[in-house]
A and B are shown apart, each in its own frame.
Chain A
Amino acid sequence: MNIAALFAGLFSGILGSMGLGGGAVLVIYLSLFTDTKQLAAQGTNLLFFIPIAFTAVIIYSFKKQIEWKLTVKISLCGLVGAAAGIGLTDLLGGEVTGKAFGGLLVILGIREIFSKNAEIFSKNAERVAKRRKS
């Protein structure tokens, strides 16, 4: 096991436990930097994510930060969605799915780069407003 794989696992775990797109890290690492097939990369990430999510959810639930009533309802509908999603994967095949994932990453990445502008500005605006008051 090389250093790059170790870091891919570590960063994927950190980001995954925070709901920040950890899965993308591992899928990207596997499909771009190793010769793993797209669907194997996706499956690996799903398996990998189970203990990571377990760890995080146990910690959050000890801190009473999980709203179980809501998450269970959403998850139940999510199970139906997952079955449909995998049906779609079968239909599209690994190559098209990989390209679609690439497209999704570009869109989400651009959002990540630009969308937070508003937040900085509003924080700045608050600070400026506070300073003006005092």
Chain B
Amino acid sequence: MKSKFKKNLPIAGTGFAIGLVNGLFGAGGGMLAVPLLKKIGLDQKSAHKNAVAVILPVSILSAVIYLVKDYVKLSDALPFIPAGVAGALIGAFAIKKIPSVWLKRIFGGFMVYAGVRLLFK
């Protein structure tokens, strides 16, 4: 019983943390899910894939609450979806090749730039 508790505690903690970030920021749950899933024991690639599966239901609940609270309208998101789904098809089939280190660095630089701008907005 105790060992089962020990085994499930990281899973529960991981889920709660991912949900908290995803609900709070409306994004970033996946970025957090990948390292946490790796800690639970998944390898790099399967951590990325399973991260998407983990945050899908969480995002659905968060989106419904945002809608109910009137923070957002369904029509706000619609224009982005066709390009997004095309991107998802590209991403899901291309994932055999996780982006190179340099691509990650460029993206990281972009994140820092955007983060600083958001901080001083």
A: residues with CB less than 8 A from B are 1, 5-24, 26-28, 31-32, 36, 39-57, 59-61, 65-68, 70-71, 73-90, 97-113, 116, 119-120
Contact = CB atoms under 8 A, between A and B. Distances in A.
B108 A9 contact: no
Interface string B65-106: 111010110101101111111111111111100110100110
A53 to B, nearest CB: 4
A55 B85 contact: yes
B30 A43 contact: no
* Interface SS majority for chain A: helix
A50 B115 CA distance: 24
Given A78-B58, A86-B66, A103 B115 contact: yes
B1 interface: no
Contacts, number: 375
Given A47-B67, A106-B112, 5 more contacts: A17-B89, A32-B117, A47-B66, A75-B57, A77-B11
The main secondary structure of chain B at its interface with chain A is: helix
A52 B84 contact: yes
Given A18-B48, A52-B85, A59-B92, A108 B31 contact: yes
B85 A119 contact: no
B31 to A, nearest CB: 4
Contact of A13 (B23, B26, B66, B86): B86
